[in-house]
Amino acid sequence: MAAALRTLLDGQDIADPVMVGIYTGGVWIAQRLHQLLRLECPLGTLDISFYRDDFTRVGMNPQVRPSLLPVNIEGRHIILVDDVLNTGRTIRAALNELFDYGRPASILLAVLVERGGRELPIQADVVGTRVKVARDQHIKLHGPAPLRLSLVESARPKV
């Protein structure tokens, strides 16, 4: 993922991007990528709980953490990082939140796992691995160290 991101950044002449991880798994992946890419700008973190489109159905995340963006993102190039890309709704929420902080010049999306089940027209620029899993299965990243992926059966209803 780091090599693919470096190629993308070089190809677009992006010298000093701002990397932002989405809580929780996305932050763990972003920490590794930030280190591997030796980025100068400190890592940002985003908690999209206040931007979820299912708040009235599932309530507020009991463990909301403040979003922390280390710099003014107005006009900056952003690398948004998450662990699993499924429906696309988390990324939609993250994009909305980022734009409430300012208007970035561009946003690249990097995800560790891309799985089927998209409900919105969103795709990643850099993907660690692609897997096909049934709709009632759920991919979970355990961390922060060591990072480990697991596949769990989900009996929970679809949002």
Q: Does 121 bind another protein (CB under 8 A)?
A: no
Query: In terms of C-beta density within 10 A (0-12 exposed, 13-18 middle, 19 or more buried), how is residue 98 classed?
Result: buried
Cis peptide before 104 (omega within 30 of 0): no
Give the separation between CA 12 and CA 94, rounded to whole angstroms.
23
Amino acid at 34: H
| Interface stretch with another protein, choices 7-15, 28-36, 42-50, 125-133 (CB under 8 A) | 42-50
Please pick, from the candidates 4, 12, 42, 59, the single residue that binds another protein as defined by CB under 8 A: 59
Cβ at position 45, least distance to another protein in Å: 11
Spell 123-151 as b/e; 16+ CB within 10 A means b.
ebebbbeeeeeeeeebbebebeeeeebee
User: How many chain residues are in contact with another protein, going by CB under 8 A?
Assistant: 42
Please pick, from the candidates 66, 121, 148, 153, the single residue that binds another protein as defined by CB under 8 A: 66
Contact footprint for another protein (CB under 8 A): 47, 49-52, 54-60, 62-68, 74, 82, 84-87, 89-90, 93, 96-97, 99-102, 115, 138-139, 154, 156-159
